[in-house]
């Protein structure tokens, strides 16, 4: 076991004990404060953000680290230093936060400067997302969609069990959790309508996903094994790949999603490192037929992460949890997705993200989208305030949470949330 993952470790930051952000977690993000608008790197510990730039300026980190690398506004430069630096920096932060280490604990001036209350921190997009690819790797989700839209055919298309299916998403509209999402406009065509119409999306949906952040670049024309792809992942964050179902239904043949997926994708502010998630590796579902040799996994590649989605209508006092599922259900692992993506020679860059695809489980209460939960609007959900939903309404806030739990330790991802705003209005449209 990596020493930083030892369940017996405790921190002098009292709020860390029993929280989703114990000393075993230390997820990375970018934050600023009202009194200091510089965007800098921090890690979550309990109900605080540890200002890593402040620690470096105080001389508490490895002197070999480039100066002010944690004050660049993104994590890109730090991630680019490579896995050994990620690991040694995490180990040093764990040491400084250990209950028996007095260096930071007993320095009241630095401690006050470096430990920022979470309510005082403004989080920002943690990486510069230059590329974003979304996959379609939950067998349950793909089967449900196939049954819904191709009831007379096999629900899975012939290639689905052989290839991690994906498409290139729009990196420019990946936004950090808390950013409002505007309902998109587009073309739609009802099944029996003689012609398409134009207007606001009527079937706005969330997609419960996880985003893997690429930490090791591979040049154009090079390839990666599954094992190499696995080691190229810096960490994971919660991810909502919002979807306009009615726009998509009209446009997706023959080339797949386009306008229905470009308007917004929300990523959680905190990236939980691959190292912190090592104790939560599990085998995924049995793959039958066996994948081709370049996709064979050398070990357990899935992650046991519990996920939950809630909706809070505008004005409601409490959100309503509408689904609970687990990242472990995915048929194709992130490492397989990345290896397949690179095998054709595609360059992957630091900060690129791989969307897992909608994460659905085998039971009716473990589905990762309203499309499935309401079976395309035919089975409405009733929320705690008495309101009914088939798809999202203006003013709704969608809230994702996630955590991995074992041996009394909870490794949390925080939240990924966004409020739905009304569509833009133009005269004459």
356-371: average pLDDT: 98
| Number of folded domains that form the chain | 2
109 and 143 inside one domain: no
Query: Alpha carbon of 43 to those of 72, 92, 287, 313, 334: distances in Å?
Result: 15, 12, 37, 31, 24
Q: Which of 423, 179, 411, 415 is nearest to 310 (CA)?
A: 415
> Do the beta carbons of residue 150 and residue 296 sit within 8 Å?
no
404-420: average pLDDT: 98
Cβ neighbourhood burial of 370 (10 Å; 0-12, 13-18, 19+): buried
* The predicted structure's pLDDT at residue 83: 96
45 and 88 inside one domain: yes
Q: pLDDT tens-digit profile of 54-82?
A: 999 999 999 999 999 999 999 999 999 99
297 and 169 inside one domain: yes
Residue range(s) defining the domain that contains residue 107: 3-124
353 and 391 inside one domain: yes
Q: pLDDT tens-digit profile of 96-139?
A: 999 999 999 999 999 999 999 999 999 999 999 999 999 999 99
Which of 124, 143, 172 is the last residue in one of the domains? Answer: 124
* The predicted structure's pLDDT at residue 191: 87
Q: Is residue 362 part of a domain?
A: yes
47 and 153 inside one domain: no
Q: pLDDT tens-digit profile of 264-279?
A: 999 999 999 999 999 9
317 and 220 inside one domain: yes
146 and 109 inside one domain: no
> Do the beta carbons of residue 234 and residue 86 sit within 8 Å?
yes
Task: Please report, for the domain that includes residue 175, its CATH number.
Answer: 3.90.850.10
Which of 124, 148, 182 is the last residue in one of the domains? Answer: 124
The catalytic position among 98, 141, 340, 341 is 141
The pTM assigned to this predicted structure is 0.97
75 and 223 inside one domain: no
Tokens of 163: 């290839």
Q: Is 124 known to be catalytic? A: no
Q: Which of 250, 15, 227 is nearest to 119 (CA)?
A: 15
93 and 181 inside one domain: no
How much is the mean pLDDT over the chain? Answer: 96
Count of other CB atoms within 10 angstroms of residue 341: 22
């Amino acid at each position: 076991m990596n020493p930083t993952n030892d369940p017996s470790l405790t921190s002098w930051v009292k709020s860390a004990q029993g929280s989703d952000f114990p000393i075993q977690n230390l997820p990375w993000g970018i934050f600023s404060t009202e009194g200091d608008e510089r965007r800098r790197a921090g890690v979550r510990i309990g109900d605080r953000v540890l200002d890593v730039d402040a620690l470096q300026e105080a001389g508490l980190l490895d002197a070999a680290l480039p100066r002010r690398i944690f004050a660049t506004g993104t994590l890109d430069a730090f991630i680019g230093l490579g896995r050994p630096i990620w690991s040694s920096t995490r180990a040093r932060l764990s040491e400084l936060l250990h209950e028996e280490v007095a260096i930071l604990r007993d320095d009241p001036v630095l401690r006050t400067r470096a430990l920022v209350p979470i309510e005082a921190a403004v989080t920002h997009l943690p990486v510069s997302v230059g590329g974003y690819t979304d996959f379609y790797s939950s067998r349950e989700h793909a089967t449900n969609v196939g049954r819904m839209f191709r009831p007379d055919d096999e629900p899975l298309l012939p290639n689905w069990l052989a290839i991690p299916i994906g498409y290139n998403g729009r990196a420019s509209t990946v936004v950090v959790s808390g950013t409002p999402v505007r309902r998109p406009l587009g073309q739609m065509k009802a099944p029996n309508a003689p012609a398409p119409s134009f207007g606001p999306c009527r079937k706005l949906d969330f997609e419960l996903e996880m985003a893997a952040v690429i930490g090791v670049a591979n040049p154009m024309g090079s390839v990666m094994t599954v094992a190499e792809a696995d080691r190229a992942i810096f960490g994971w964050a919660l991810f909502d790949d919002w979807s306009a179902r009615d726009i998509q239904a009209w446009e997706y043949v023959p080339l797949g999603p386009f306008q229905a997926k470009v308007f917004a994708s929300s990523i959680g502010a905190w990236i939980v490192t691959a190292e912190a998630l090592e104790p939560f590796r599990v085998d995924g579902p049995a793959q039958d037929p066996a994948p081709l040799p370049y996709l064979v996994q050398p070990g357990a590649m899935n992650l046991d992460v519990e996920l939950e989605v809630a909706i809070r209508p505008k004005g409601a006092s409490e959100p309503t949890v509408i689904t609970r599922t687990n990242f472990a259900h995915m048929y194709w692992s992130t490492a397989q997705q990345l290896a397949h993506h690179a095998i054709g020679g595609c360059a992957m860059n630091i900060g690129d993200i791989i969307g897992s695809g909608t994460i659905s489980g085998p039971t009716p209460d473990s589905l990762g989208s309203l499309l499935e939960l309401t079976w395309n609007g035919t089975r409405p959900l009733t929320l705690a305030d008495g309101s009914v939903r088939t798809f999202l309404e203006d003013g709704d806030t969608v809230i994702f949470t996630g955590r991995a739990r074992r041996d009394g330790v909870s490794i949390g991802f925080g939240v990924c949330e966004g409020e739905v705003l009304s569509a833009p209005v133009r005269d004459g449209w």
